[in-house]
Amino acid sequence: MSARLLSLPDRVGLLSRAQAQPLLITVGVIGALTTLMLSGRRESWLDLVGAALLLVGASSAILLTAGLVARDLIDGGAQIWLQKPVSPLAFYLARFGEAVLAWSSVLVLASLAARLATGALGWQAEVDLLVALPRIWLSSFVVASIAFGLSPWLVRGASLATLLVWLGGMVLEIELAVRTELLGPATNPLLRAVLFPESALDRVADFAAGTGDAILVPLARILAYALTWIALGSYGVARATGHGGLARAQGD
């Protein structure tokens, strides 16, 4: 019997089953935290709900994307997926797209549920949760791009590395934005350009809330940062699967 490439429903099914347990654990932990917040002060809930939704999006993005390529190369999954002549890069970019659709669905559902919950309790946030959703989605997309960029290079620790790049870069970017004297007026902007674009995401949030303008420059910075990580992951896929790299990876 000739080998065949698994169909898209089969691939999505395998991906969902493989990540269902950690994703459910994450959602369960977040659900417990939100329950505790609901039992506390109203202000605490409204202050933390955006952070909780960001945690939903970012954690889902990491769970579905981190180590996506390296796991296949080591455990033999790539041999199954790539049985027919198919571009490895196009295939893994498609899997990245599937992961984006999956965690985006989780994020939208969580945002709607949070909005309904706060509305039912008669709590009104300063900024509507759905207005805050573009900023949260963009943050999660950048985190997913980081995870994909690292996925061909790290078999173990990919999730931790993604968290370090995300949170470490975010803290440094905020610090450099406030304290311009740390590295000098010429070096600070250059370093901030390679760090997580937290200030650009804040400007997107201000624009969505109607309190800011000039959205094109921050969006360009966010897109450039995400595409750089996607390009790094794409290079890793090409390097690992080209010129016998697939066979060498499985032999390691």
Give the pLDDT score at 172: 83
How buried is 179 (Cβ within 10 angstroms: 0-12 exposed, 13-18 middle, 19+ buried)?
exposed
Q: Residue 183 above 70 pLDDT?
A: no
pLDDT digits (tens, 9 = 90+) for 199-236: 899 899 888 878 877 889 999 999 999 999 999 999 99
Q: How far apart are CA 35 and CA 109, in angstroms?
A: 17
The residue among 134 and 186 whose pLDDT is bigger is: 134
Give the residue carrying structure tokens 């999660």. Answer: 140
Tokens coding 194: 């390679």
Tokens coding 12: 């999505």
Whose CA is closest to 166, among 195, 204, 136, 135? 195
pLDDT digits (tens, 9 = 90+) for 100-159: 998 898 888 888 887 787 777 666 655 567 788 898 899 999 999 999 999 999 878 888
Place 38 in a pLDDT band, splitting at 50, 70 and 90. Answer: very low
Q: How far apart are CA 136 and CA 205, in angstroms?
A: 9
Q: What percent of the chain has pLDDT over 70?
A: 62
Asked whether 107 and 161 are in contact (CB, 8 A), the reply is no
Give the pLDDT score at 3: 39
Residue 225 CB neighbour total at 10 angstroms: 20
What is the pLDDT of the chain when averaged over all its residues?
Answer: 74
Asked whether 249 and 74 are in contact (CB, 8 A), the reply is yes
Give the pLDDT score at 22: 57
Q: What is the mean pLDDT of residues 84-91?
A: 76
Q: How far apart are CA 68 and CA 105, in angstroms?
A: 19
Q: How far apart are CA 17 and CA 25, in angstroms?
A: 14
Distance of CA 51 to the CA centre of its chain: 14
Give the pLDDT score at 194: 81
> What is the enclosing helix (H) or strand (E) of 87?
none
Instruction: Flag the least confident range among 21-25, 37-41, 51-55, 108-112.
Output: 37-41
Give the pLDDT score at 37: 46
Q: What is the pTM of this model?
A: 0.77
Give the pLDDT score at 145: 97
The residue among 79 and 224 whose pLDDT is bigger is: 224
Place 7 in a pLDDT band, splitting at 50, 70 and 90. Answer: low
Q: What is the mean pLDDT of residues 188-200?
A: 78
Residue 134 CB neighbour total at 10 angstroms: 14
Tokens coding 90: 């196009």
pLDDT digits (tens, 9 = 90+) for 165-178: 998 888 888 777 66
Q: How far apart are CA 56 and CA 107, in angstroms?
A: 6
Q: What is the mean pLDDT of residues 184-209?
A: 78
Give the residue carrying structure tokens 């919950």. Answer: 117
Q: How far apart are CA 191 and CA 101, in angstroms?
A: 31
